[in-house]
Amino acid sequence: MRSEEIVSRILHRDGLMLVLDKPAGLPVHPGPGGGETLARHLDALRFGLKWRPELAHRLDRDTSGCLVLGRHPKALRTLAELFAKGRVEKTYLALVAPGPATAQDAFTIDLPLAPVAPDTPWRMKASPEGQEALTRVRVLARAPDGSRALLALEPVTGRTHQLRVHCAASGFPIAGDAIYGGAPRGAALHLHAWRIAVPLSRAKPPVRVEAPVPEPLARTASDLGWGCGPNTAEGA
């Protein structure tokens, strides 16, 4: 991937932060296997500043959508504090298979999470001994036979792999999840960081950014009867 393509995926830019539409399949940090990462392209996102932007949070390699970067050290500290205090509103879209067994269209998953093992802190499990983890769920569309559903997921806490583990542990794993959902290795994860709201100023409304829904998630959402344009009604 060229740096020009990364630049073209900027959704929002101001003096403090950038919001980037991260493509699925691009890791944000280098891993033990090497290869392409977003970190290699950060110098192309300076836009005249002496500092390169740095990540204010992270997305998994196979998750697409809104990724926030701080443009200078002070901005990065501010953003990190907002994320740490849970003041940044995040909404993800996820295709799950099967759909939730409950007929409710809005509910909360409250399952503490802990690492599967001390030497794999990146792989999580639901455990009463783990840290508190809360996810708000809204069902946006369902297949008539219950085989699939499109969900809006709002993580109240920010645990590693929280959305993926919560959905899988609740009986409706995210489609394409090879780690927690039993999908074949290399399958496309249908999880998209759709909307984000960052309260940068006490005197102004939060900065709200929406990332376009990528294929094939957009096509599947349409098949389920849900529109995914910028004017889509909440919960429609």
- Asked if 36 and 29 count as a contact pair (C-beta separation under 8 A), the reply is no
At residue 69, φ and ψ (nearest 5 deg) are -125, 140
pLDDT at 234: 46
Catalytic residue among 14, 21, 43, 60: 60
pLDDT at 235: 41
pLDDT at 213: 97
Beta-sheet pairing, 64-70 with 191-198: parallel
| pLDDT one digit per residue (tens) for the chain, 236 residues | 889 999 999 999 999 999 999 999 999 987 666 678 999 999 999 999 999 999 999 999 999 999 999 999 999 999 999 999 999 999 999 999 999 999 999 999 999 999 999 888 889 999 999 999 999 999 999 999 999 999 999 999 999 999 999 999 999 999 999 999 999 998 999 999 999 999 999 899 999 999 999 999 999 999 999 985 544 544 43
Q: Name residue 91's amino acid.
A: T
Please confirm, yes or no, whether 105 is among the known catalytic residues. no
pLDDT at 122: 85
- Asked if 197 and 208 count as a contact pair (C-beta separation under 8 A), the reply is yes
- C-alpha 171/C-alpha 109 separation (Å) is 11
pLDDT at 228: 59
pLDDT at 233: 44
- C-alpha 169/C-alpha 147 separation (Å) is 17
Residue 115 bridge partners (DSSP): 124
pLDDT at 118: 85
pLDDT at 33: 66
